[in-house]
A and B are shown apart, each in its own frame.
Chain A
Amino acid sequence: MVSVGQHENIEILSYSEVEEVSGYVGSFKVKIRKKARYVNEDLCTGCGLCQEKCPTKNILSEFDAGIGTRKAIYIPFAQAVPRIPVIDTEHCLHFQKGKCGVCQKLCPTGAIDYEQEDQIVELDVGTVIVTTGFDLFDPTRAPEYGYERLDNVVTSLEFERTICSSGPTGGKVLLKDGRKPESVAILHCVGSRDKRYNVYCSRVCCMWSLKFAHLVKDSLNAEVYELYIDMRTFGKGYEEFYNRVLKEGVIFIRGKGAEVTDVAENPREEGKLIVKCEDTLLGELRRIPVDMVILSTGLEPRRDAVEVARTFGLSRSADGFFLEKHLKLAPVETASDGIFIAGACQGPKDIPDTVAQAGAAAVAALAMLDRGKVTLQPYVAIVDVDRCSGCGECVLACPYNAIELVDGHAQIEETACKGCGTCVGHCLSKAITLSHFTDDELVAEMRGALRVLEVA
């Protein structure tokens, strides 16, 4: 990321949103709202003094999944590129109460600018790659797991930040009461492969669950239960890692976690979380008392996927992720020429797959630019001037305003015409034909189709 930030041909617009995309392949006009971060990007050196001295407290960090805290002026995470802080106006004392101003006073380069406003940037670009990522399933939608109701039920992302040695807890995993967990259950497929929420497999959760099991064994030496439907260790080296975790003594239970409860039925369950499940290999219902439950939440389309799809003219597949042009033959292209997709916005995928797809999208986009011209489909509507009565119906029908009435007959602007043929379907005088989809061609095709059915 750092080398991307320093590359002379790459400009990063972070904290910005695309508002409008117009034009066509090779000549898109993109309108971007560059939101005010209240820090002058040209002056800021990223020293971090402002976030160190900011007097605000106890604001939950989004990056740390709400486990750690951040200040009102903050660099979102340690490796952020560009390394420029942003002011969260909802918590900043200057914006809320008109006082403070510590960051402005202390900034060695005078980069803090409370007067900054949103900027609209207009760019002319040839191609676009959409890589907007995913959201995690919100486990409060599955109340049987007790997330937010029971202590020590955490999501995979929360656990990831907790066990990360550079995270807010320094890698220490503790229960709410400060004890070390002696047993941990990891529940797979929370929000995935479930008819109530998402039917698809989120692909990455089996592997991160195995990673957690390995880390818990390694750092806590606790008992670990993995409750899975099927283990999907599909990638290079993944099956080997699964075998390794099996040998480490992790207990694998084939059965989806059905419920997490704190209602004990015997002394052994007292003060524990009890995971109920059906062990399908033993063929019996089980109650597993543990100290901590990790919910392996699935991946979902981002909540703004509908708006993003509309902005860029993308389609979405049944699961809500962006639709590629062809599942196998055009996996990074979309139905809109010159717009490409990569990463988890197209469907759940892990880092190696994302990197591969991103590379493919970048090359496809560059190849198109490098060629310097685009090949268009040869579909254009053609007017037979002798037949045209000049009624103007086609002018009204055309979605692209590509038709004008000139000297009493229709005239088509070929570069604007996309060849949909709506005017052809509308013309009462049969004066317009669509190249490669003429009436004669369609009728011949239709006759052939009927003959095939006749024989069958």
Chain B
Amino acid sequence: MTYEPKIVAYACTYCSYPGADLAGISRIKYSPNVNIIRVLCSGRVSAELILRTFREGADGVLVLGCHYGDCHFISGNHRAAKRVAVLKRILEYTGIEPERLRLEWVSASEGERFAQVVDEFTETVRQLPPIREILRG
């Protein structure tokens, strides 16, 4: 049975959020299953915040940051990358599919890429059961 997955995207202020903005300005269509929350840097997105997002019922979590070398905050995205990699293994251990969490780099000029990432991720998550079923055990 297919369902409409709920996805929260954490997008950084300097690259990915303007990237999403550009997708909007350019009238590019993308999946309405995603709601974006702006953070200053992808480095701000703590492991705990991601886990809480799942617990609150998100079927997927996207963390979007600047490409390597482009981070407005020098190295925040490197920290995000390390954190997400570790967290994915923890998710797997707890029985939540690691595919539900994805880290992507989207620059301010990549409106099209933003839409692509969102669409692809929505389809990936749609293949998985709703998170409520997993949380209920």
Contact = CB atoms under 8 A, between A and B. Distances in A.
Interface of A: 315-318, 323, 326-327, 335, 379, 397, 399-400, 418-422, 424-427, 430, 434, 437, 439, 442-443, 445-447, 449-450, 452-454, 456
Interface in B1-31: 4, 6-8, 14-15, 18, 22, 25
Contacts of B79: 397, 422, 425-426
Contact of A442 (B33, B39, B71): B39
Of all A-B residue pairs in the complex, the 7 with the closest CB atoms, nearest first, are A421-B44, A422-B43, A420-B73, A449-B35, A399-B74, A420-B41, A317-B109
B52 A443 contact: yes
Contact of B32 (A326, A427, A456): A456
A446 B40 contact: no
Contacts of B15: 315
B46 A424 contact: yes
Contacts of A427: 46
A318 B110 contact: yes
Contact of B109 (A318, A326, A430, A437): A318
A424 B42 CA distance: 11
Contact of A422 (B18, B70, B73, B107): B73
Contacts, number: 112
A418 B79 CA distance: 16
A323 B109 CA distance: 8
17 contacts: A318-B110, A326-B18, A327-B25, A335-B14, A397-B79, A400-B73, A421-B39, A421-B40, A421-B41, A422-B76, A425-B79, A427-B46, A439-B46, A442-B37, A443-B52, A446-B37, A450-B35
A437 B44 contact: yes
Interface stretch (B53-61, B88-96, B97-105): B53-61
Contacts of B35: 449-450, 452-453
B107 A450 contact: no
B40 A425 contact: no
A422 B25 contact: no
A439 B37 CA distance: 13
A279 B45 CA distance: 57
A399 B6 CA distance: 33
B57 A450 contact: yes
Nearest to A325: B18
B73 A449 contact: no
Contacts of B39: 421, 437, 442
Nearest to A454: B6
B53 to A, nearest CB: 5
Contacts of B126: none
Given A437-B40, A446-B58, 16 more contacts: A315-B108, A318-B109, A399-B75, A400-B74, A422-B44, A422-B73, A430-B48, A439-B46, A439-B49, A443-B56, A450-B8, A450-B35, A452-B35, A453-B4, A453-B6, A454-B57
B107 A315 contact: yes
B6 A420 contact: no
A454 B52 CA distance: 17
Nearest to B70: A315
A439 B47 CA distance: 12
B118 interface: no
Contacts of B52: 443, 446
B37 A453 contact: no
A347 to B, nearest CB: 12
B88 to A, nearest CB: 16
B41 A449 contact: no
Contacts of A317: 108-109
A446 B39 CA distance: 11
Contacts of A424: 44, 46
Given A316-B109, A399-B76, A434 B44 contact: yes
Counting chain A CB atoms within 10 Å of each CB, the highest count among B4, B7, B44, B56 belongs to B44
A379 B41 CA distance: 12
A443 B33 CA distance: 18
Nearest to B66: A315
